[in-house]
Structure formats: C-alpha cells, structure tokens
Amino acid sequence: MRRNGFLLLITTLFFSPVYADNQPTIQHVIYITLDGVRFQDMDKTQPYFSKLWEKYADKLTTYGLPTSQAPMEVASVPLGLPSYQGQMAGSIQPCRDNQCGYIQVKTLPETLITQYHFAKKDVAIFSSWPEIHYVTETKPGTVYTNAGNTPVMDPITKQADTVMATLNHEQDIHHPQYKLHRYDKYTFAQALHYMEKYQPRFLWIALVNADDEAHAGNLNQYHQLLHYYDDALHGLFNTLQSMHMDKNTMVIVTTDHGRGNDENWTTHGANYPESKQTWAFVMNGKLQPVSQDGEMGHYNTLSIRPTIEKALI
C-alpha cells in the first residue's frame, strides 16, 4: 500500500499539468486595444505609463518596444478596420479602409460562442469606436457588442442595471449624441462593471480617443489620454487582484496601428510605412509568433487570435 501510494504521488507530481507549468489554468482573457497609440510612447523610458512600468513590469512580456527585442507590426494596411478584422479573423482580410463593412469570415468571438458553446454573456465587447460592430461578427446579434456612443444594456435582462443606468445617464449628459465616438472613460467604466458582474471568459475593451486626438493634432490631449490609460490599467489590475482573478486571467494590451514619424505623427496608413510598427504586452502568457528566425520570434496583429484561442480552448 505504501509503495502504491508513493508511486501515485510521483505520478501526480510529474504528470499533473498544474505542477508541470507551475501556473494556474487561464480561465479569462481581457483584451484591450489602445487605438493609434504609438510604440514610442509605450516604452518605459517615457513618462506616460509610469504606474504600469513601476508596479507591473516584472509580470509583463513585451513586444515591439525598443527594449523588448521582439519585433511586432500590423499585418494588414495600418488602418483601424483592416487591422481589427485581421486580429479577430486570424488572417488578413480583403479590407483596405474603414468603409469595407462586415467581416466575411467567422470571428474569434463568434467561434467561442457557436463552436465552443460559451454563453453569450461570457463573450463581451465594449468599444468607443462604433465600427467595431463590423469586426466582431458576420451575423449581427451573435455576440454581445456595445460600441460607440450608445447606452449599455444587460445581455440577459435587456435592461440597464443600476450601475449601467448611472453611467448611461452621465454619458448622455456629458457626451452629445452627435459625437459617435464614445468617451473612453465611459467605455472602460462599463466594461469594468461588466467584468465584476459576470466575469466573462473573453472581454475586449476597445478604446479610441487617443487616435481621435492625434488625428486632430492635439498633442497635449493625446498625452493626457496616455496617462488616463495608465490609471485605467492600474485600476483593472487592482480589481483583478481583489476578485482573486489576477492569476488565472491573461491580459493582452495592444493597438491597431502605429503613426507616422515627426510631423506626420497625426496620421497613419499605406502611405506611411512606419505606421505599420506596433507593440503589445501580455500578463500571464505570451503571444504566438507568426514566424521564427532561430530563437527570435516575429509577431504581428495575426498573433492575437491564436494566442487567445490557445489560452481559452
């Protein structure tokens, strides 16, 4: 009996995936995109993400930053809709601008629901940019998506709960309906409340105001938004820790494209090849490389979907 018990213990230690990886199983993925944020501004030598680098640097794997030694770029045209469609499809799509309409292949969120039978409330997207609707699904209504300057409703009751209603009201007062891009602070607050309420398996928070300010040439406001994003991420990590989700949640933060150099910092696109350079960081995991050159992996926006699928499925 003692010999059998000893063999059982050895088998458990050597073959249990928990002991082998020394890491809890990932149960949740939070995917955050900071639209149009330059890789130069994300680096730890810059002042904009001081909380991130001071408090969490040892927990992050970075890509595309000067200190990361892991190059990353946009696989498609460096514009919002082509990039986001590639991220959710896992392949470059025949989309060349922001007017290409709905994605034509089954997306990551759709696959999680239709193929892997995640509950609808467990796959949620909150976006400040209304065009994200064209990225998340081929069939409208499959995925819970709240995008643009629209009120948030609970996916189960179809009504706004107390917190949602309060944020909806504040948004209505401070954000005119003619401004189609919702303020990021409301998008993030609604998404954080949703996370606390439902603990979804996949949550995408798509923020856009930095890109808005950059296109308008408002450098000070752009920098202020970077500081806000730093505070928001710090708040997210604190919330995950208080909910005891910090060990089993993968957090991926990235962008859709870079920006032009020097005086062209306000724009991006096919005419600005430098805007293809992008970045990412991951907590509790690593991106899947799209190619390998010896020991060096190469990463781009097509790394996103396989990374999330491997974590959740």
| Contact present, 167 and 129 (Cβ < 8 Å) | no
**What pLDDT shows up at residue 247?**
96
- How far is Cα of residue 137 from the mean position of the Cα atoms in its chain? 16
**For the chain, how far is it from start to end, CA to CA, in angstroms?**
38
Q: What is the pLDDT of residue 168?
A: 95
Query: From CA 135, how far away is CA 87, in angstroms rounded?
Result: 9
Spell out the domain ranges in the chain: 27-312
- The residue behind tokens 């509790």 is 284
SS3 159: coil
Q: Does domain 27-312 have CATH number 3.30.465.10?
A: no
**Other residues' Cβ atoms within 10 Å of the Cβ of residue 172:** 13
In this prediction, the residues of the chain whose per-residue pLDDT falls under 70 are 1-23, 176-178
Q: Which two tokens stand for residue 29?
A: 């993925």
Residues 6+ apart with CB under 8 A from 84: 33, 132, 135, 206, 256
pLDDT for residue 178: 55
